[in-house]
Structure 1
Amino acid sequence: MARMTILFRALALLLIASASTAMAQGPRQLDLPSLESAIQAGELGKIAALAIEQGGETVYRQRFDGKPQGDPVDIKSAGKSITALAVGMAIEDGALPGRDVAVWPFLGSPRGEPFDSITVGDLLAMSSALDCNDWDSGSPGQEERMYRTRVWRRFALELPGRSFERGKSGYGPFSYCTAGVFLLGRVVEKATGERFDHYVQRRLFDPLGVDGVEWRTSRSGEIQSGGQLTIADNALLKIGRLVLDRGRWNGEQLIDGAWIESMLTPHHQLGEHVYYGDLWWATPLRAGDGFVEAWMMKGNGGNIVAIVPSYDAVLVVQTRNYNKADSDRHAFTALWSMLATLEPVSQALTAR
């Protein structure tokens, strides 16, 4: 996270200069009553729940869809970030040798290049040689094609390769690929000897006191480790706090802090102020007259869990604005507005 702080300080200067444009065309920063009124009036689409945690304490939690507090919501691809945590735990447990290990030996017989050189790190960073791009409906690996099949594993393992060359960073070009993250779940299963959801429940959710999580499955019963996870807002606050505290929970080191640091190191720049690490996004959030660093679990519809180190805070937005063009704008309006209710805690991380 310290490496990202320098980066975000530089970005903040650029973002302040363009703040008036962003406010006119992008998200808004509202006071909390105005935000709640806008949500209740339907101005921000179907936002289901908001929650804020700061310093380990829940300071705000509100439901907007008429369902009980804590009723789970499908957070879509935001669930991919949990798979990154699962990979880190499997490495810490000694089940996986590391991020540079080839995945094909865990998945089946050798297939030749470029497939045999695909590593765990490639799939985490969305930069493998699989011809798979969810943002292109014509891609052979586009996720909707996978969902139409009965056995997702077979679909993913039979994907064609693409032209691939590693850059100076050690990674190839970015290509958003849910099928690749699904394969990561199969790697974790093979390495640990446990079904993916059982391993995550035992190793992560049970220590956090999280239950009632629902994973989407294929028609053959495979767990979708590539997202489409239905989970409660308070569970997401706990996951965000775990990451913000570098893998510690109630005095116990659940995940190696070095893995958290590596996971939140950017591998790709996807936009002017958008970065991607290991299945986690980095995008600054507006705070007062400037912007601050934030790492995010992020999914379709504007489902976001944002950890904000300089505020020692976790922000959760759960929505059902699926496949809506304005979903991110509405989610960031909620994030900016929630962050405006907090005071920064600049020494929060250095004290841990």
Structure 2
Amino acid sequence: MKNKTGLLLLIFLVLTHSSFAQQIDSQAPEATATEAELSFRDIPYLEKAFIDVAPTDRKDGILVGKLGVDGGNKAMILALTQEIADNKYGNFDSFLIAHKGKLLFESYYRRGRIDLPHPQASATKAYTSLALGRAIQLGYLSMADLDKPLVDFLKNLDPTKFVDGVEKITLHKALTMRSGIRISKENREEFEKTPALLKGQKQVQVYLEHSIPITSDSQRFKYQFDPILVMQVIDAVVPGTAKDFIKNELLDKMGITNYGWETDVSGLPSSGSRSSMTSRNMVKWGTLVINKGKWNGEQLIPEAFITKATSRLLYTGDDEVHYGGKDVSNQGYGYFWWSADLKVGNKNYFGVSAQGGYGQIITLIEELNLMVVTTGHDNNIPYLQIIAERILPAFIK
């Protein structure tokens, strides 16, 4: 009994003197009124990390459970969390895990706040893709339209001024970053000096007038401004504006009210970056996708579109796997969603992810019914390698 008491005391001391405490009885960190007004870069770091192995039901549409009870090896995840809190990897802001439809783990570090929308960078592209899918679900477009010339949907253009080959640009090509449009940086900077030239569909007109000719050679994967084309089509085909459509038909449906989504020079919602979401809202986007386009039983996006969006429609090569490592390979791309094989032992698990620079990532492993959400401000962290090496083993029986 004496030895047992001593062991319990030792465990207590380790936990209470750790750089993080399992703050079971405390509240997740919220932004102060002052912090809410600051730019993200000016948000002060948390004094200590917040770790929750049994996330609170905040009545926000997210089901919750308990790590280790509803899935996952609690000790393995907490060991990783300790390393994140100790800054072993770099500047994480949040790290959440959902499994089988329940949020089982929630943590915040440094600039992370549960109620503060975090800049999403290029994860915005993935949300733009899903907005197009919503337009298809409601009948403003069809799946067959994905293979039609994109300019067919934009009625305010002057085709007599287009470069050759514009008809080769389909929605499918734009969604896979293969529009083939090539405009020099100098030309783009020159256009941007006169914003009036880029208002509304004039933005597309300028691109299609000043690009090199569109050919099969130019229509190779290039990570660029193709989401702009997709947002222009959304705005053209839906009733009202793309901004109102996204709010009413996607964000409101999922109960996402605390967010930011900036406006592009065209006057449309920014499509390639510049949205902000809380980490829990990222969980909602991931839930929509892992549930094949359903939210609370309602089909918001066609399953066929989700399948396309999250398929490895093309390989982008392993020369530079974003946030990868030794266990991440076969990087691919769907409709603004990345994919890769994550290796555990002798088996590969197919992972799909919305990715934003510096660590804004929603990773889905359908085979394990697993979602990992991270936010951060560090572009050198091997986020996907960490998932493969440290998180997947905790959920594989």
TM range (shorter): 0.7 to 0.9
Residues 281 and 67 of structure 1: CA distance in aligned 2, closer, same or farther (over 3 Å): closer
Q: Give the Cα–Cα distance (whole angstroms) in 1 for the partners of residues 215 and 192 of structure 2.
A: 29
| Structure 1 residues 157-204: Cα deviation after superposition (integer angstroms, max 9, x where no partner) | 32333454448xxx93111112x2022112101110332232112111
Task: Please tell me whether the aligned partners of residues 131 and 139 of structure 1 are also in contact (alpha carbons under 8 angstroms).
Answer: no
- The offset of 1:66, in angstroms, is 5.2
SS in 2 for 1:122: helix
Which one of the candidate residues 356, 362, 368 is aligned to 1:311?
368
Task: Please tell me whether the aligned partners of residues 50 and 316 of structure 1 are also in contact (alpha carbons under 8 angstroms).
Answer: yes
- The offset of 1:307, in angstroms, is 0.8
Tell me the residue number matched to 1:245. Answer: 291
Give the count of matched residue pairs: 301
Tell me the residue number matched to 1:102. Answer: 149
Q: Give the Cα–Cα distance (whole angstroms) in 1 for the partners of residues 359 and 187 of structure 2.
A: 23
SS in 2 for 1:317: strand
Which one of the candidate residues 308, 331, 340 is aligned to 1:262?
308
**Aligned letter for 2:364?**
I
Which one of the candidate residues 249, 252, 256 is aligned to 1:203?
249
SS in 2 for 1:332: helix
Please tell me whether residue 129 in structure 1 is matched to residue 175 in structure 2. Answer: no
**Aligned letter for 2:222?**
S
Q: Give the Cα–Cα distance (whole angstroms) in 2 for the partners of residues 141 and 295 of structure 1.
A: 34
Residues 199 and 288 of structure 1: CA distance in aligned 2, closer, same or farther (over 3 Å): farther
Q: Give the Cα–Cα distance (whole angstroms) in 2 for the partners of residues 141 and 301 of structure 1.
A: 28
Please tell me whether residue 175 in structure 1 is matched to residue 212 in structure 2. Answer: no
Which one of the candidate residues 26, 31, 34 is aligned to 2:79?
34
- The offset of 1:304, in angstroms, is 1.0
- The offset of 1:276, in angstroms, is 0.7
Tell me the residue number matched to 2:206. Answer: 158
Q: Give the Cα–Cα distance (whole angstroms) in 1 for the partners of residues 83 and 98 of structure 2.
A: 22
Q: Give the Cα–Cα distance (whole angstroms) in 2 for the partners of residues 336 and 146 of structure 1.
A: 46
Residues 331 and 292 of structure 1: CA distance in aligned 2, closer, same or farther (over 3 Å): closer
Q: Give the Cα–Cα distance (whole angstroms) in 2 for the partners of residues 140 and 126 of structure 1.
A: 21
Q: Give the Cα–Cα distance (whole angstroms) in 1 for the partners of residues 313 and 215 of structure 2.
A: 15
- The offset of 1:68, in angstroms, is 3.0
- The offset of 1:219, in angstroms, is 5.5
Tell me the residue number matched to 2:32. Answer: none
- The offset of 1:75, in angstroms, is 1.4
**Aligned letter for 1:176?**
Y
- The offset of 1:335, in angstroms, is 6.1
Residues 94 and 165 of structure 1: CA distance in aligned 2, closer, same or farther (over 3 Å): same
**Aligned letter for 1:126?**
M
Tell me the residue number matched to 1:235. Answer: 281
Query: TM-score normalised to the size of structure 2?
Result: 0.68
Q: Give the Cα–Cα distance (whole angstroms) in 2 for the partners of residues 47 and 219 of structure 1.
A: 31
- The offset of 1:101, in angstroms, is 2.6
**Aligned letter for 2:373?**
V
Please tell me whether residue 341 in structure 1 is matched to residue 397 in structure 2. Answer: no
Q: Report 1 or 2 for greater relative contact order, CA contacts < 8 Å, sequence distance ≥ 6.
A: 1
Tell me the residue number matched to 2:10. Answer: none
SS in 2 for 1:31: helix
> Unaligned regions of 5+ residues in structure 1, if any?
1-29, 133-137, 345-352
Q: Give the Cα–Cα distance (whole angstroms) in 1 for the partners of residues 240 and 293 of structure 2.
A: 22
Task: Please tell me whether the aligned partners of residues 92 and 375 of structure 2 are also in contact (alpha carbons under 8 angstroms).
Answer: yes
Percentage of matched positions with identical amino acids: 22
Q: Give the Cα–Cα distance (whole angstroms) in 2 for the partners of residues 314 and 264 of structure 1.
A: 14
Task: Please tell me whether the aligned partners of residues 203 and 266 of structure 2 are also in contact (alpha carbons under 8 angstroms).
Answer: no
After TM superposition, list the pairs within 5 Å mapping 1:65-144 onto structure 2: 65=110, 67-97=112-142, 98-107=145-154, 108-110=157-159, 111-112=161-162, 113-131=164-182, 139=185
Q: Give the Cα–Cα distance (whole angstroms) in 2 for the partners of residues 219 and 308 of structure 1.
A: 36
- The offset of 1:94, in angstroms, is 2.1
Name the larger-Rg structure. 2
Which one of the candidate residues 379, 385, 389 is aligned to 1:332?
385
| Structure 1 residues 62-82: Cα deviation after superposition (integer angstroms, max 9, x where no partner) | 111254324211111011011
Q: Give the Cα–Cα distance (whole angstroms) in 2 for the partners of residues 232 and 251 of structure 1.
A: 23
The two structures, once aligned, show a CA RMSD in angstroms of 2.7
Query: TM-score normalised to the size of structure 1?
Result: 0.76
Task: Please tell me whether the aligned partners of residues 215 and 223 of structure 1 are also in contact (alpha carbons under 8 angstroms).
Answer: yes
SS in 1 for 2:271: coil
Residues 141 and 277 of structure 1: CA distance in aligned 2, closer, same or farther (over 3 Å): farther
**Aligned letter for 1:60?**
F
Task: Please tell me whether the aligned partners of residues 304 and 316 of structure 1 are also in contact (alpha carbons under 8 angstroms).
Answer: yes
Please tell me whether residue 64 in structure 1 is matched to residue 109 in structure 2. Answer: yes
Q: Give the Cα–Cα distance (whole angstroms) in 2 for the partners of residues 212 and 318 of structure 1.
A: 16
Residues 145 and 285 of structure 1: CA distance in aligned 2, closer, same or farther (over 3 Å): farther
SS in 2 for 1:181: helix
Tell me the residue number matched to 1:25. Answer: none
| Structure 1 residues 202-239: Cα deviation after superposition (integer angstroms, max 9, x where no partner) | 11122211111211223564320122210011111121
Residues 228 and 199 of structure 1: CA distance in aligned 2, closer, same or farther (over 3 Å): same
| Structure 1 residues 95-144: Cα deviation after superposition (integer angstroms, max 9, x where no partner) | 22421232224442214322243211111011012105xxxxx64687x8
